[in-house]
Amino acid sequence: MNLKAMTSALLIAGLAAPAVFATTGTITFTGSVSTVTCSIHGDDPSNPSPDFTVRIDGVNAGDMPNVGDTAGLTGFRIFVGQEGESTCTDGTKVWAHFEPGATVDPVTGGLRTTGTATGVQYRLFDKLMNRINPWDQDQGAIKETISNNQAVLAHAAAFERIGAVTAGTADSSVTYSVRFEP
């Protein structure tokens, strides 16, 4: 191929390349900012931290015979504010939002596990036992109203079968934030 033909071919290829980056659509973000400030902690009053552990007792693989079955359902609560905490404003709606991230399977919405067990993930539930998928924008969030400068957000977690189960340890975690709506 001569130099002129090669230059023409490169020029044509270069002109065609921008079509790959054509505009497809627009994503609009909306939101709000609140000035409500509340302390956050889990079930253990001796640990007034927003970081806490939920212990799920061991389960038998036979308790989850089919993919999608759950076992070991364990409730947990997130406490928002406390009596006399004036910055935690009465009448404010509050809910927990579980953040999508590296520990959350984008296909199932379950929490990926580390350890030696296979075929299971952790599944989060709201207080009405609806499954929570952290990749869903609204997550079916049940909003509680702050009263007497406090609210309690009730949830649950369980093992969920996603494939052939082998015995072993299974740990995971999820990041959450508490959201406020005046």
CATH code of the domain covering residue 174: 2.60.40.1090
pLDDT at 145: 96
Report if residue 32 sits inside a domain. Answer: no
Q: Smallest Cα–Cα separation from 40: which of 106, 94, 114? A: 94
Q: What is the pLDDT of residue 27?
A: 74
- What pLDDT shows up at residue 1? 52
Residue 34 resides in a domain: no
pLDDT of residue 172: 95
The total number of structural domains in the chain stands at 1
Position 172 in a domain: yes
- pLDDT under 70: residue ranges of the chain: 1-22, 26, 28, 30, 32, 45, 140
In a domain, 102, yes or no: yes
Three-state DSSP at 11 gives helix
Residue 139 lies in a domain: yes
Is 141 a member of any domain? yes
Domain assignment of residue 1, yes or no = no
Q: Give the residue carrying structure tokens 């996603």.
A: 162
Determine the structural domain holding residue 46 and report its residue range: 40-181
Q: Is residue 30 included in any domain, yes or no? A: no
| Residue from 136, 31, 148, 41 nearest 88 by CA | 148
> What is the pLDDT, as a whole number, of residue 15?
52
Cβ–Cβ under 8 Å, residues 35 and 86: no
Sequence-distant (6+) residues with CB within 8 A of 167 are: 61, 116, 117
pLDDT at residue 48 in the model: 81
Q: Tell me which amino acid residue 89 is.
A: T
C-alpha–C-alpha distance, residues 124 and 156, integer Å? 6
Cα–Cα nearest to 79, from 181, 182, 176: 176
